[in-house]
Chain A
Amino acid sequence: MSVAKRIIPCLDVDKGRVVKGVNFLNIRDAGDPVEIAKRYDKEGADEITMLDITASHETRDTTYKTVESIASQVFMPLTVGGGVRTIEDIKKLLRSGADKVSINTSAVENPDFVKEAADKFGSQCIVVAVDAKSSNIDEESWEVVTYGGRNRTGIDVLEWTQQITEYGAGEILLTSMDRDGTKAGFDNSLVSKVSSGISIPVIASGGVGNLDHLIDGIKIGGAEAVLAASIFHFSEFSIKEAKEAMRASGINIRF
């Protein structure tokens, strides 16, 4: 047996509170990030990802405090993303206790930033978040979008993920913006194309509405890890139930 497939609950944090919107709009309050992280830790989550969705200068200190507070109480890998633009931002997040940092828009605007970050801190802590939307060309092609999906870049997702792998990214957090918040399941065709094209792990994200979707992300999409937010926050399912369902389907899961 090789490395276990991971299940990663994601905390979308706005001004120090966990929120979750549908297609990044219509935001609902889901509670205190530290308390929620502790609950996921107890339930057996394999990692936690926290995305600072406001990511403004005014709220940045709150983010560092939240990271510090989670990292000192929960002994599991913590990835933090949202508004990471400079080497200094990465350094501060790692010092606050993040294990990995997720870079999104600033990687698209300046791919060399990925290279510089991986050289400085090591690939193991550089996650590149790729937000993908079906392109208008055909069903089997996707383009990279930024600013929460509002901006189409025209960059082909498969080419982009290969490029950032070469630049030293350690992992890809791949979100389908067509599926995010819809509860219709991952875009497994996208996940599978990206995952088979690169050597680094891919985390599937966007669209989970039930436990079968998590299983499909691994079995059909070929993802190394699956990320979900709302199905866990509002206690529709516990992490434990998700892991039991995945194990029952024959997936290598840690218990």
Chain B
Amino acid sequence: MTQVVVIDYGMGNLHSVSKALETVADSEKIIISSDLGVIKASDKIVFPGVGAIKDCMAAFSEDLKETVLEEIGKKPTLAICVGMQMLLESSEENEGVNGLNILDGKVTKIKSLDKIKVPHMGWNKVKFLKDHFLFKNIPDSSFFYFVHSYCCLSSEDALTETEHGENFISSLAKDNIFAVQFHPEKSQTVGLDLYKNFLDWSI
């Protein structure tokens, strides 16, 4: 049986992520855990993140960090929101924080120009730059739910872009890693479709 672990390092609401996965699961087992053994024994990894990136990085113990880095190097991984930002090189939030440097790109503050509100909060269109299995059955320019004040403006690993004042990268992919700035677990049907695709994804 396929086991999916939602990594719990004490940050954020994991309830909705795991409920959304359970809703679309056939036989897959969904576990919320920070146990190194459970993470190693799982077949797929969900890496969430909520709040300030500094706190997320700090909540990450050395042991956990080492295991996560090792495991997301080889298993299908879905990173969400600050989880996505943590996989990049760096973020300018909290006076500058180093990321895990697994995906290309830097995180910068969203510019509050004219009538552009920050946080970017609400539903916005996700435009495809490349195809990916995780967008199977999801139309181009579908609306997903976003809530964030920092974003990645350019990346070699960019998969989709979204406009809020200017275009930013709303999802990235590289090998077995798929990372999204938006919240699929808050995006009604299209979000559940994306989780279903993640469960069906094999590398």
Question: Which residues of A come within 8 Å of B, CB atoms?
Answer: 1-6, 41, 46, 68, 71-72, 75-77, 94-99, 119-125, 170-171, 199-201, 222, 224-225, 254
Contacts and interface: CB of A to CB of B under 8 A. Distances in A.
Contacts of A125: 50-51
Contact of A201 (B121, B143, B191): B121
**Highest count of chain A CB atoms <10 Å: which of B145, B146, B191:** B145
A46 B123 contact: yes
B119 A46 contact: no
Interface string B34-60: 000000000000000011100000000
Nearest to A253: B123
B73 interface: no
A98 B90 CA distance: 29
Contact of A4 (B118, B123, B147, B185): B123
22 contacts: A3-B120, A4-B123, A4-B143, A5-B122, A68-B15, A75-B19, A75-B187, A76-B187, A77-B147, A97-B15, A99-B16, A99-B147, A122-B52, A124-B50, A124-B121, A124-B147, A124-B148, A171-B119, A199-B117, A199-B118, A201-B121, A254-B143
B197 to A, nearest CB: 15
A199 B187 CA distance: 24
A18 B173 CA distance: 43
Contacts of A2: 116, 124, 163-165
A170 B19 CA distance: 25
A94 B123 CA distance: 21
A108 to B, nearest CB: 22
* Dominant SS among interface residues on chain B: mixed
Interface string B2-42: 00000000001101100110010000000000000000000
Contact of B188 (A75, A95, A120, A170): A75
Nearest to B145: A77
Q: Which of A4, A76, A171 has the most CB of B within 10 A?
A: A76
Given A68-B15, A71-B19, 19 more contacts: A2-B165, A3-B121, A75-B19, A75-B20, A75-B188, A94-B12, A95-B13, A99-B147, A124-B119, A170-B119, A171-B121, A199-B112, A199-B118, A200-B118, A201-B119, A222-B115, A224-B122, A254-B123, A254-B143
Interface residues of B, number: 38
A200 B117 contact: yes
B75 interface: no
Interface string B142-157: 0101111100000000
A66 to B, nearest CB: 14
Nearest to B187: A75
B125 interface: yes
A3 B146 contact: yes
Contacts of B148: 124
B122 A122 contact: no
A3 B112 contact: no
B65 interface: no
Contacts of A170: 119, 121, 147
A75 B192 contact: yes
A6 to B, nearest CB: 5
B16 A4 contact: no
Q: Which of B188, B191, B192 has the most CB of A within 10 A?
A: B188
Contacts of A41: 188
A123 B164 contact: no
Contacts of B163: 1-2
A224 B117 contact: yes
A224 B192 CA distance: 26
Given A72-B19, A95-B13, A123 B119 contact: yes
